[in-house]
Structure 1
Amino acid sequence: MILRLNKLLVLFCLFSCVLTSQGQTHNASHETVLITSEDGATEVSANKKGKLHLNVSPEDVRKFKALGTVQYSDFGAKGNGETDDINAIAATHAFANQEGLLVKADQGATYYISGVKRTAIIQTDTDFGTAKFIIDDTDVEDRNTAIFKVSSNLEPVKLDGINSLKRNQSKINVSLPQSSLITVNNAHVKHYIRYGLNQNNGADQTDIFLVDKNGNVDMDAPIIWDFDKITEMTALPIDDKILNISGGHFTTIANDEESKYNYYSRNISIKRSNVVVDGLEHRVRGEGNHGAPYSGFISITDCCFVTVKNTILTGHKTFSTIGTAGKPVTMGTYDILIGRALNVTFLNCSQTNDINDRTYWGIMGSNYCKNLLFDNCTFSRFDAHKGVANATIRNSTLGHMGINAIGSGTFTVENSTIQGWSLINLRSDYGSTWQGELIIRDCIFKPREGTGNNISLIGGAYSGQHDFGYTCYMPEKITIENLKIDDSAASADYNGPAIFTNFNKEMTEESYIQAFPYVITKKVTLNNVTTTSGKALRVSDNVFMFRDVVVEGE
């Protein structure tokens, strides 16, 4: 049928490249929705290639625009928990995006979402309300396809003519239509050359930072690397208006694939700046004795100023596989994944399962981020793999996997209870590096069960024999105020907690040569640090390694 021009509204062809920390790519063809306004029924259909066609009658167009709202049932969603509703959901959002309408889920509906390759693009405020969404991962066409993608209609801009950058540079030579998130890459330099059971050859040098339309860098999220060359540089414009997503009860029926690193990304992917997610719940059912891991039900990438609040998530079961070193490893699997994102806040959030149950992996992972905040959260873990610049945990409780991080800037932990192996673990697979300062105040450290007598505040390991692609640092300055250490489970021969674990048991005298020297902490300031046992806080079992650290205070 040849459509008359005066009745052809728009051909929606929304596209982007989804890139997660696993390096997955994404075919955008399934996101195409053809929207027409022909006389006849309002209905959604799919052709043999899976492309959606939404026809909205002229009468319904007028009605929806007058209401300012559309619901999934308006475009054929049944909401009975059995009929696959993903096509109707995707079509609803496509029409809402075109007309700038609010999307509201039908109250009390249960939407079943099959494994078909389809993504609903969210570009307008969305109220999932009390509706339930069942996401069936037992048979999927493409495990990398998000269920919902929150995206901007602002186009990215490739930046040419900038050949180098310097750490803490305050301005770049660009003129942009508006404030933007800058991503920069140098394929000639490798960072984060991982050590251990999941060893690898590293990743291209990468940074993200904010600039205004005149190229002035926001120094609260500064450039953290020197770039001698630049192979790619992109400006992602920042939407001025906040996009709100509220409510929704989501349940994932877990995959039962072989336990290998085949990450599932059937999730809510946020790739737009200035987004608030409020009151969402995600649960998982059907996990058995094996399965592929997950890359975050809430995935936040290539964006900034995102807040997730009043939200309940779920840790995934831990499964094992063979790592790159040829030995068994437990696979990281996440309900929260944050990558190349700035100024991300989790506020008043928790998880459904016990934060100290070790059969479930730590709920959160991140890469290439700046200014991350947990406030009043109860989670099993905070984790920064490939670096975070500035992070804060406050008014929170973290469970068996505690705090794991590498990065730079200031890491602040306040008014919180931490229950991991150590108060803060500097990840040894990325060089146990923190180039900056740690501030710990008004906290309780309760070492997890099994720690025994080996209790330390700052954990990690560094042999000095592996090249991570950068100089590795311990925090230059550590300030600890009003800390209670619950070491009541220690045995009678316990010598008391240490500030630093034994980072290198081989490094006990001057003859030990580090091929890649570690920059040791200069100063630790203590104020009102107490232990349940009454035993005093020591510097470390490795007296030689930390011989030059100045400890002030109690």
Structure 2
Amino acid sequence: MKHNLLTILLLICIGNVNAQNKDLTENAIITSNETEMRVYTADGVLHVNISPKDVTGFKAAGYVRYSSLGAKGDGKTDDMDAIAATHVIANRYGLKVKADDNATYYIGGKARTAIILTDTDWGKATFILDDTEVQNRNASVFMVGSTLRPFKLQGVGSLKKGQKKISAALPGPCLVTVVNSAVKQYIRFGLNQNNGSSQTDIVAVDKDGNIDRNAPVIWDFDHITDITALPIDEKVLNITGGRFITIANKDESKYNYYARNIAIKRSNVVVDGIEHRTRGEEDHGAPYGGFIHISDCAYVTVKNTVLTGHRTYTTIGTAGKPVQMGTYELTVDRAINVSFINCTQTNSIDDATYWGVLGSNFSKNLLYDHCILSRFDAHQGVANATIRNSTLGHMGINAIGCGTLLIENSTVRARSFVNLRSDYGSAWQGNVIIRNCVFVPAGGKPAVATLIGGSNSGQHDFGYVCYMPENIMVDNLRIDDSAHPDKYNGPAIFANFNPDMKDASYQEKFPYVITKQVTLKNVTTTSGKTLRVSDNLFEFKDVTVAVKN
């Protein structure tokens, strides 16, 4: 019939494994008739009318543009509904999405998320994200999702560290998240103290349940309260281009994080060539949870990307004292094999006015390669991390976790070459390898040079045994300590991790396991002073330091 009306309810559900498992849902009603194309919202639901002729044209082209669904791109008209509708149509018919290179898409504060399930080319288009009046600060602007649904694994009651296989029926390769809510770990110490997080691990398995040996199980789970499998998309989804400008929020400076971002919740994604800048930050504002937020997925690469550090604001922490709030450009949560390649930032990596760009939790195999960024951070743990051919700024390398931390062909401009986060026990169970690097303490300001920083009094229960790196291997390191302070005794391998531990009378309630061996080869200093062990010779008296030619 000429004016036959076909109504389709398109329900795209993307599982959020972390939640555990709260679905993020985008509702859209698509109608198809021969009247003009129309996009509108009614009762919070997006309505899209598209003619069969238009559908035929889009299929022939292989893509759909934002302007095809009514986006003005004039920098003034709110184009969010048109953008979301474009992705609804592209997802429905398996089409790519393209932006117009000369367009400036204004995105206001409406609580609408555009779900990306197909390749998207933002080209040279500009997107203005206005965060000054936002309906829902937790609503991402774009979410890269999957049509594959998470499901509960049955019959798996426990899991052991290093276990090689999970015995379960799987439809194909999956990302498996394991939780034991009866065990608390990462019980934070300090100004942001808390009661910890439920014991959590994430592994990649093949269709037969074999666990990726490069991302092993790192905890013993004597009991499992939740185990969820999320099928891994095997085809790569590509997102390219795009110039984004965030007009910063003016909210109260407290921990009400804004998630007006690009959220990636799908495995096998490549993000190439995004630029993000922030405008309008003032003397107060709420923090950001990451403009690119990668979670519950594996095999994600972000490359050739320009980022902007957010201004640091202060609030009152859980200990009742002022504390600086972390605010991020990049966030990685419960993800495996995430790479940042050739990424830079617009503001100075040495400017402490801006917080460090990266924060991560419960992840494995993180990589920086050819990056110039203010910070690398493993917050609630990473298993294996690599930093190569990169320069790290004022917040440097912050690491909590296990496995191998490899830093090579890189420059670090922080107070310590590696900082083992004291709020999580300065714990790294594994090895640290430093090769062909340069260390500029405090970016060239007067400072005592320390290779490994951190602290642990042995009096706080973090929910796990705290280890220092078992072995630290340094090969070809130049320490530029020319701007040292007065009465400088030379650089130290270790900071004074526990000033109260002066002799054998000190008793630790929760013993801190100290490094066994440090191997040094070709370590030079600008000051000419020799690298020493620590200001606390008693604490590190049993460390073997081997100097090789």
Q: Give the TM bin, normalised by the shorter chain.
A: over 0.9
* Alignment partner, residue 31 of structure 2: 36
Cα drift, residue 491 of structure 1: 3.4
Determine helix, strand or coil for the equivalent of 1:296.
Answer: strand
Q: 1:422 aligns with which of 416, 435, 448?
A: 416
Counterpart of 1:429 in 2: which secondary structure?
A: helix
Deviation at 1:36, TM superposition (A): 2.0
Code of the residue aligned with 2:483 in structure 1: it is: A
Structure 1 110/19 Cα, relative in aligned 2: closer, same or farther at 3 Å?
A: farther
**How far apart, in 2, do the equivalents of 1:292 and 1:26 lie?**
25
Amino acid at match of 1:550: T
Distance 1:235 1:24 in 2: 11
Instruction: Calculate percent identity across the aligned residue pairs.
Output: 63
Corresponding residue for 1:143?
137
Distance 1:168 1:303 in 2: 21
Post-superposition offset of 1:450: 8.2
Partner-residue secondary structure (3-state), 1:33: strand
- RMSD, matched Cα: 1.7
**2:477 is equivalent to residue 477 of structure 1:** no
- Matched ranges for 1:298-317 at <5 A: 298-317=292-311
Amino acid at match of 2:543: V
Residue number among 41, 49, 53 corresponding to 2:47 in the alignment: 53
Do the aligned partners of 1:431 and 1:462 also contact (CA within 8 Å) in 2?
yes
Could you say if the C-alpha distance between residues 6 and 243 of structure 1 is closer, same or farther in structure 2, counting changes exceeding 3 Å?
Answer: farther
Partner of 1:404: 398
Q: Residue 208 of structure 2: which of 186, 193, 214 is its match?
A: 214
Task: Pick the aligned partner of 1:133 from 123, 127, 134.
Answer: 127
Q: Which residue of 2 aligns with 1:279?
A: 273
Equivalent pair of 1:24/1:144 in contact (CA under 8 Å): no
Task: Report the alpha carbon displacement of residue 449 of structure 1 after superposing the two structures with TM.
Answer: 5.1
Structure 1 Cα separation of the partners of residues 20 and 288 of structure 2:
13
Deviation at 1:475, TM superposition (A): 0.2
What TM-score comes out, normalization by structure 2 length?
Answer: 0.98
CA separation in 2, counterparts of 1:466 and 1:28?
A: 38
2:9 to 11, 16, 24: 11
- CA 416–449 in structure 1, closer or farther in 2 if over 3 Å, else same: closer
Unpaired stretches in structure 2, ≥5 consecutive residues = none
Structure 1-normalised TM-score?
A: 0.97
Task: Quote the Cα distance in structure 1 between the aligned partners of 2:138 and 2:530.
Answer: 51
Alignment length (residue pairs): 548
Residue 150 of structure 2 aligns with which residue?
Answer: 156
Q: Secondary structure at the match of 2:87?
A: helix
Question: What letter matches 1:495 in structure 2?
Answer: N
Residue 260 (structure 2) pairs with residue 260 (structure 1): no
Letter in 2 for 1:274: N
Q: CA deviation at 1:472?
A: 0.1
CA distance in 2, matches of 1:492, 1:194: 35
User: Structure 1 415/89 Cα, relative in aligned 2: closer, same or farther at 3 Å?
Assistant: same
Determine the structure 1 residue equivalent to 2:528.
534
2:363 — aligned with what? 369
- Give the match's secondary structure for 2:90: helix
Cα separation, 1, equivalents of 2:135 and 2:22: 13
1:277 to partner: Cα distance: 0.3
Q: Which residue of 1 aligns with 2:165?
A: 171
For 2:282, the equivalent position in structure 1 comes to 288
Confirm or deny: 8 A CA contact 1:295 1:337 kept in the other structure.
yes
- Shifted more, 7-16 versus 458-467: the winner is 7-16
**One-letter amino acid of the structure 2 residue matched with residue 156 of structure 1:** P
1:180 aligned to which of 167, 174, 185: 174
Give the structure 2 partner of residue 385 of structure 1. 379
Whether the 8 Å CA contact 2:3–2:33 is kept in 1: the answer is no
Runs of 4+ in structure 1 deviating by more than 6 angstroms, as ranges, are 3-6, 23-27
Letter in 2 for 1:502: N
CA shift in 2, pair 1:5/1:431, >3 Å: farther
Alpha-carbon distance between aligned partners in 2 of 1:323 and 1:15, rounded to the nearest angstrom:
36
Q: Does the 8 Å CA contact 2:143/2:263 hold for their aligned counterparts?
A: yes
1:296 touches 1:335 (CA, 8 Å); kept in 2? yes
> What is the letter of the counterpart of residue 127 of structure 2?
F
1:442 aligned onto 2:436: yes
Alpha-carbon shift at residue 11 of structure 1 (Å): 1.5
> How far does residue 9 in structure 1 lie from its aligned partner after superposition?
6.0
CA displacement, residues 271-310 of structure 1 (integer Å, 9 cap, x when unaligned): 0000000000000000000000000000000000000000
Kept in 2: contact 1:389–1:408 (CA 8 A): yes
Q: Which amino acid aligns with 1:35?
A: I
Query: Cα deviation per residue 1:50-107 (whole Å; 9 max; x = unaligned)?
Result: 2011111011011111111100010000000000000000000011011110100012
Aligned partners of 2:436 and 2:326: how far apart in 1? 31
Shift of residue 37 of structure 1?
1.3
Q: Which amino acid aligns with 2:75?
A: G
Deviations 1:381-409 (A, max 9, x none): 00011000000000000000000110000
Is the deviation greater in 133-142 or in 5-14?
A: 5-14
